[in-house]
Amino acid sequence: MEQIKKNIDEIKNKLKEDTILVAVTKYRSIPEIKAVYEAGILDMGENRVQEFREKEEQLPKDIRWHIIGHLQKNKVKYVVGKVFLIHSVDSLGLAKAIDSQSKKLDLVTDILIQVNVSGEDAKQGIDPDQLEGLLSDLSKLSNIRIKGLMTMAPNTKNIPLLKDIFHQTKALYDRMKSNEESYPNVTMEYLSMGMTNDFTIAVECGANMVRIGSGVFKEEEA
């Protein structure tokens, strides 16, 4: 578990001071996650709702949970009121389900809109051209708050391609931020992009939130 602390220190040395590190805890054990928590990381990201539910019950209550994987509408009731941020909203239907559950609980849920800048069919997220239309629709929902954007880059070592995708996403974020007064429930605060293999490039391109799994939990290299 000491290795986890070393890994986190190494990652934090490559981040800007205000960048939030979300430790991706998919398939990780409770002792491993506790080691991350004890190293001072409070932001934990889960891909699957079932895993989130099992872990959330057993771990400290001041952990800020992030749902970073595809969220089905029928699972919304299990996360609203228990998570800090939902990164993966990519449709009006999902946003309405989150808004409706939030209304029942008399709270406001913070979300990010997932954009598919790379254009890969395998990736979730809306087309960048649809972003303003979706924001306009979401502005009518009073129990969600749009806090920024999330994107997933392709798994590639092509650095110019990665930079292009991250720069495009940052440009979208900046455009939405400059126009946020047009929407009553938009406060652009988080640009979530970058994972273990590309987070340094993402931060260089303007990310202020990164999602790192294997980089946090990797074993010591022989």
Task: Render 52-104 in DSSP notation, one character per residue.
Answer: HHHHHHHS-TT-EEEE-S---GGGGGGTTTT-SEEEEE-SHHHHHHHHHHHHH
What are the residues whose beta carbons fall under 8 Å from the beta carbon of 108, sequence distance 6 or more? 102, 142, 143, 144, 145
102 phi and psi, to 5 degrees?
A: -65, -40
Predicted local confidence at residue 59, as pLDDT = 98
Q: Give 49-53's long-range contacts (Cβ < 8 A, gap of 24+).
A: 49/75, 49/78, 49/79, 51/25, 51/26, 51/27, 52/78, 52/79, 52/82, 52/83, 53/78
Q: Is the pLDDT of residue 94 over 50?
A: yes
Q: Is the pLDDT of residue 121 over 50?
A: yes
In percent, the amount of the chain with pLDDT more than 70 equals: 99
Whether 186 and 176 have beta carbons less than 8 Å apart is answered as yes
Q: Is the pLDDT of residue 2 over 50?
A: yes
Q: pTM of the predicted model, to two decimals?
A: 0.96
Predicted local confidence at residue 221, as pLDDT = 63
Distance of CA 16 to the CA centre of its chain: 17
Predicted local confidence at residue 46, as pLDDT = 98
- In tens, the pLDDT along 52-81 reads 999 999 999 999 999 999 999 999 999 999
Q: Which residue has the higher pLDDT, 121 or 103?
A: 103
Q: Specify the range with the lowest mean pLDDT, choosing from 21-25, 92-96, 152-156.
A: 152-156
Whether 210 and 15 have beta carbons less than 8 Å apart is answered as yes
Residue type, 150: M
Domains of the chain, with CATH numbers?
A: 2-216 (3.20.20.10)
- In tens, the pLDDT along 129-181 reads 999 999 999 999 999 999 999 999 999 999 999 999 999 999 999 999 999 99
In percent, the amount of the chain with pLDDT more than 90 equals: 95
Structure tokens at 71: 């969220």
Predicted local confidence at residue 174, as pLDDT = 98
Closest CA to 41 of 222, 218, 209: 209
Closest CA to 51 of 36, 38, 68: 68
Q: How sure is the predictor about 222, in pLDDT bands with cuts at 50, 70 and 90?
A: very low
User: Across the chain, what does the average pLDDT equal?
Assistant: 96
> What is the mean predicted confidence (pLDDT) over 120-127?
86
